[in-house]
Structure 1
Amino acid sequence: MRALLKILIVGAALWVTTLVVDGIYVQADSLIERLLTFVCVGLIFGIVNVVLKPIIHVLGCAFYILTLGLFALVVNGGLLLLTGWLSGLLRLPFHVAGFWPAVWGALIISVVSWALGLFIRV
């Protein structure tokens, strides 16, 4: 149940991101298709984070220290860009147009997920 709530929170954060950031969008015709896309992309984003983020943290430890953690924005942007690419491979109508929209999108996703996590105990 916890994992499902986290996926729904990330899906909601992705929805907010598509509203705020130019360059991240969903090209779905119906509301149901849009909702399913957000849930599926939330699942993909969660899997990418669980698999790759620990490896990147270990390999890039010096960059995190040197940049006082700002390197995390670059890493999260790259992971969102990878999620957009994987979504394209799976024929999901979710698109990330480039690196900077991915960085801003990752920042928005982090903030919105954190805020929703305050209200919904996960």
Structure 2
Amino acid sequence: MGLLTRWAIGAVALYLTVLLGDKLGFKLGFTGTGAQSVVAAFIAVLALTLVNALIRPVVKLLTLPLSCITFGLFGLVVNALMFYLVGELNVGLKVDGFMAALFGSVVTSVLFGVLNTFLGDGKKRDE
């Protein structure tokens, strides 16, 4: 049940990020409208999870010197690149530009953390 809960919370966080980004002028969106955009959010979260699990560790290892020089702030750039990559995979999420990807990755992470705190199953992942 925990995996499905996190998947749904991630989709809600991504959907809210796209709505907020659209209001603030960032070029974020989903393919389709209405129910299609909700399905696109679920698919995009699945793609983002796979990209973060498979590609992100390699990129973080390759950019480790830059992360050390910038005291870890380059991690934001890596997260934005992963978000942008999901947008380029044509899985339902549209991301137009690096600033939109940076905004999307930061806001999605914050919203996911907040929503998971209040709506999660109450278990820590380490247990």
Q: TM-score range by the shorter chain?
A: 0.7 to 0.9
2:30 paired residue number: 26
Shift of 1:29: 2.7
Indicate if the aligned counterparts of 2:31 and 2:40 stay in contact, CA closer than 8 A: no
Shift of 1:52: 1.1
How many angstroms apart in 2 are the aligned matches of 1:68 and 1:9? 30
2:14 paired residue number: 14
Shift of 1:27: 3.7
How many angstroms apart in 2 are the aligned matches of 1:52 and 1:6? 20
Query: Deviation per CA, 1:42-73, whole angstroms, max 9, x where unpaired?
Result: 00000000111211222222212211221111
1:2 paired residue number: 2
Number of equivalences: 117
List gaps (5 residues or longer) in structure 2.
none
Measured on the aligned residues, the alpha-carbon RMSD in Å equals: 1.5
Residue 38 (structure 1) aligned to one of 16, 38, 41:
41
2:62 paired residue number: 59
How many angstroms apart in 2 are the aligned matches of 1:83 and 1:111? 18
**2:71 counterpart SS class:** coil
Q: TM-score, normalised by structure 2?
A: 0.84
2:107 paired residue number: 108
- Percent identity of paired positions between Structure 1 and Structure 2: 27
Indicate if the aligned counterparts of 1:7 and 1:46 stay in contact, CA closer than 8 A: no
Shift of 1:78: 0.6
List gaps (5 residues or longer) in structure 1.
none
How many angstroms apart in 2 are the aligned matches of 1:70 and 1:85? 24
